[in-house]
Chains A and B, each alone.
Chain A
């Protein structure tokens, strides 16, 4: 963002103060007999025959028999390491989607938690680090006690002044914010690339940022985490449709063992990055990949979603019809215009076509002209009835 300070030199970690909570947690851990080894700062309780605490630092310093105030002095000198330990280990914890996501946001998997890693991360965090998650921009910066402050907004508004956006602080408010797109249309698919703009969650803690992101894009962090652990349970098209029952049971009949072209069409229609930001990992079945690209999304899609299942039910019925040959008289330009109109609807472009742009085939006047000329009173294209016996 424009108003961010330039990055500090990597060798020079930003000034953080060792807060009481971090120091208390350190003392608690050591008094419980644990040792702490983080960011080049190593501390442990003295052996049974010794007294106080033992501290070693990356600079080669070693002190034994430290009192609590001696420990405090050294820990304060290494406030970056100690606050980072406190944040990652004690507050965020280990394992699970939330902890993984919080670490990923600040690049723990890239920089690590050794002395250099902490310095590099703290330098980046002081400046403010940001990552995209679907259409979200998730930023994190360092508080002066080594705490983290997170912000979530629409990625298209990366440069906007937060004061110009509607501020929110309860992650659950995101449920209402993302229900409709900027044109007030209901968004049945949360990962459709139609996230509305104009809002910001400016001051979240690590739990709040996770909740907010998971509210905007439910279960995306959970599945992304599983994928990183090598445990994503992908259910392909055939098993998913095979599981359906009730009114959706019919979809199984669409798979006739004659190939998977129909599923290519489904994926192209619904799962393309222009329609859904999840990266489709499901295929036709375990052996048969689809021929269309799954997309580049950061989070995976592990099985056909309910929207796809509902649409597939309709397509199963429609695709049960036999093809017929119709004969239509059209000029070459009219044929192309029909194609342009289909493209415009499929690409959701009709809103962008200007009123008087009669050079555009999907323009309203052009389309009305085509209808006036080529439809009969019953709405049949070129007067050709849908059913032959209607003539």
Chain B
């Protein structure tokens, strides 16, 4: 028996925080690759502290639905899951390369393959691009378009900026968009000045966030100038200083993210058979609708 447990932050205040986690869990559950697919949260229930005891399998793949390595993936999650003997060195990561560590959960005795976060997996680049396709409704979007990945800066966590840079570089290497930039919310180059960094008339703006919430629905739309008041919403695209900004909202809501979760588990040794194919197939409908 193998189980997949997707762990995420959750929220006491924002009812939508858990939505992407549930949706990706459902997509993977439907493939039948795991005997069980469960979700656990830091701020919702089942809590990280108790999610493993809701899981019957003795072999568990835990995938953090977080955008970068840092405090949550290195300290909070392993501690709350009671992963005996956890040491971040087991990931041997440079801040981007965490893959997996095999540990035992002290309270349940389960074997836990603790995976790196989805946000730093190379497959996340594909999700960012897919997000651009979804928001423009054009599966071939690229020519004539700039692409901006936005996230927190180094202030909170230096690895957060690393992940943004990493994906921006990878998207640039695709040679598909005219320009690609990494932008930040709390440091230069700041997302507030988006039009200054692009020559293209059209720019897709994708936040590297898991769920839509305060940052993606209030902060960024106002900072970029898509709207004066987030409560009134914004147009897609919205024109800011002559640039048409196609604001995509949190990348984590893109159905293809389920594929990254599966990749993480597969990299850690989970037997996912044809599930990867099937998830890529079923999430494809998102394009162009």
Show the binding face of A for B, using Cβ within 8 Å. Answer: 96-98, 172, 175, 179-180, 186, 188-191, 214, 218-219, 222-223, 226, 233, 243, 245-246, 303, 305-307, 310
Could you tell me the distance between the alpha carbons of A360 and B79 in the complex, rounded to whole angstroms? 50
In the bound complex, residues from chain A placing their C-beta under 8 Å from that of B44 are: 188, 190, 306
Known: A180-B15, A245-B76. A306 touches B43 (CB 8 A): yes
Instruction: Report the nearest B residue to A170, measured CB to CB.
Output: B26
In the bound complex, residues from chain B placing their C-beta under 8 Å from that of A306 are: 12, 42-44, 47
B282 within 8 A of A: no
Partner of B26, one of A172, A190, A303: A172
B53 within 8 A of A: yes
Could you tell me the distance between the alpha carbons of A97 and B22 in the complex, rounded to whole angstroms? 23
Q: Are B43 and A233 in contact (CB under 8 A)?
A: no
Could you tell me the distance between the alpha carbons of A226 and B18 in the complex, rounded to whole angstroms? 27
Mark out the residues of chain B between 159 and 195 whose CB falls within 8 Å of any chain A CB in the assembled complex.
none
In the bound complex, residues from chain B placing their C-beta under 8 Å from that of A188 are: 11-13, 43-44
Q: Report the minimum CB–CB distance from B87 to chain A (whole Å).
A: 16
Could you tell me the distance between the alpha carbons of A188 and B14 in the complex, rounded to whole angstroms? 9
Could you tell me the distance between the alpha carbons of A98 and B54 in the complex, rounded to whole angstroms? 10
Q: Are A186 and B76 in contact (CB under 8 A)?
A: no
Q: Are B47 and A219 in contact (CB under 8 A)?
A: yes
Partner of A246, one of B46, B54, B71: B71
Mark out the residues of chain B between 1 and 47 whose CB falls within 8 Å of any chain A CB in the assembled complex.
11-15, 18, 22, 26, 42-47
Show the binding face of B for A, using Cβ within 8 Å. Answer: 11-15, 18, 22, 26, 42-47, 49-51, 53-54, 56, 71, 75-76, 79, 107
Q: Are A214 and B54 in contact (CB under 8 A)?
A: yes
Q: Report the minimum CB–CB distance from B287 to chain A (whole Å).
A: 26
Instruction: Report the nearest A residue to B107, measured CB to CB.
Output: A233
Could you tell me the distance between the alpha carbons of A22 and B43 in the complex, rounded to whole angstroms? 44
Q: Are A98 and B56 in contact (CB under 8 A)?
A: yes
Q: Are B12 and A222 in contact (CB under 8 A)?
A: no
In the bound complex, residues from chain B placing their C-beta under 8 Å from that of A226 are: 53
Could you tell me the distance between the alpha carbons of A179 and B44 in the complex, rounded to whole angstroms? 11
Q: Report the minimum CB–CB distance from A391 to chain B (whole Å).
A: 37
Q: Are A219 and B50 in contact (CB under 8 A)?
A: yes
In the bound complex, residues from chain A placing their C-beta under 8 Å from that of B76 are: 245-246
Instruction: Report the nearest A residue to B72, measured CB to CB.
Output: A246
Q: Are A245 and B75 in contact (CB under 8 A)?
A: yes
Q: Are B50 and A223 in contact (CB under 8 A)?
A: yes
Q: Are A222 and B15 in contact (CB under 8 A)?
A: no
Can you list 17 A-B contacts (CB < 8 A)? A96-B56, A172-B22, A179-B15, A188-B44, A218-B45, A218-B50, A219-B45, A219-B46, A219-B47, A219-B53, A222-B54, A245-B76, A305-B45, A305-B47, A306-B42, A306-B43, A310-B43
In the bound complex, residues from chain B placing their C-beta under 8 Å from that of A186 are: 13-15
Could you tell me the distance between the alpha carbons of A96 and B76 in the complex, rounded to whole angstroms? 27
In the bound complex, residues from chain A placing their C-beta under 8 Å from that of B22 are: 172, 175
Q: Are A307 and B12 in contact (CB under 8 A)?
A: yes
In the bound complex, residues from chain B placing their C-beta under 8 Å from that of A233 are: 107
Q: Are B51 and A219 in contact (CB under 8 A)?
A: yes
Could you tell me the distance between the alpha carbons of A11 and B76 in the complex, rounded to whole angstroms? 57
In the bound complex, residues from chain B placing their C-beta under 8 Å from that of A245 are: 75-76, 79
Q: Are A303 and B12 in contact (CB under 8 A)?
A: no
Could you tell me the distance between the alpha carbons of A306 and B46 in the complex, rounded to whole angstroms? 11
Known: A246-B71, A306-B43. A219 touches B15 (CB 8 A): no
Q: Report the minimum CB–CB distance from B213 to chain A (whole Å).
A: 12
Q: Report the minimum CB–CB distance from A26 to chain B (whole Å).
A: 26
In the bound complex, residues from chain B placing their C-beta under 8 Å from that of A303 are: 49
Could you tell me the distance between the alpha carbons of A219 and B54 in the complex, rounded to whole angstroms? 6
Q: A172-B26, A246-B76, A305-B47 are in contact. List 9 more A-B contacts (CB 8 A).
A: A180-B15, A188-B44, A189-B45, A191-B45, A218-B50, A219-B53, A303-B49, A306-B12, A306-B47
Instruction: Report the nearest A residue to B26, measured CB to CB.
Output: A172
Could you tell me the distance between the alpha carbons of A180 and B71 in the complex, rounded to whole angstroms? 31
Q: Are B12 and A190 in contact (CB under 8 A)?
A: no
Q: Report the minimum CB–CB distance from B53 to chain A (whole Å).
A: 4
In the bound complex, residues from chain A placing their C-beta under 8 Å from that of B12 are: 188, 306-307, 310
Could you tell me the distance between the alpha carbons of A179 and B22 in the complex, rounded to whole angstroms? 13
Could you tell me the distance between the alpha carbons of A301 and B15 in the complex, rounded to whole angstroms? 23
Partner of B46, one of A97, A218, A307: A218
Instruction: Report the nearest B residue to A180, measured CB to CB.
Output: B15
Could you tell me the distance between the alpha carbons of A186 and B16 in the complex, rounded to whole angstroms? 10
In the bound complex, residues from chain B placing their C-beta under 8 Å from that of A219 are: 45-47, 50-51, 53-54
Instruction: Report the nearest B residue to A246, measured CB to CB.
Output: B71
Could you tell me the distance between the alpha carbons of A191 and B51 in the complex, rounded to whole angstroms? 16
In the bound complex, residues from chain B placing their C-beta under 8 Å from that of A222 are: 50, 53-54
Q: Report the minimum CB–CB distance from B88 to chain A (whole Å).
A: 14
Q: Report the minimum CB–CB distance from A37 to chain B (whole Å).
A: 27
Could you tell me the distance between the alpha carbons of A233 and B109 in the complex, rounded to whole angstroms? 14
Instruction: Report the nearest A residue to B11, measured CB to CB.
Output: A188
In the bound complex, residues from chain A placing their C-beta under 8 Å from that of B11 are: 188
Q: Are B45 and A223 in contact (CB under 8 A)?
A: no
Instruction: Report the nearest A residue to B106, measured CB to CB.
Output: A233
Could you tell me the distance between the alpha carbons of A175 and B19 in the complex, rounded to whole angstroms? 10
In the bound complex, residues from chain A placing their C-beta under 8 Å from that of B71 are: 246
Could you tell me the distance between the alpha carbons of A236 and B143 in the complex, rounded to whole angstroms? 59
Q: Report the minimum CB–CB distance from B3 to chain A (whole Å).
A: 14
Could you tell me the distance between the alpha carbons of A124 and B258 in the complex, rounded to whole angstroms? 45
Q: Are A223 and B53 in contact (CB under 8 A)?
A: yes
In the bound complex, residues from chain B placing their C-beta under 8 Å from that of A179 are: 15
Could you tell me the distance between the alpha carbons of A306 and B41 in the complex, rounded to whole angstroms? 10
Q: Which 4 A-B pairs have the closest CB atoms?
A: A218-B46, A219-B50, A188-B12, A218-B45
Instruction: Report the nearest A residue to B82, measured CB to CB.
Output: A233
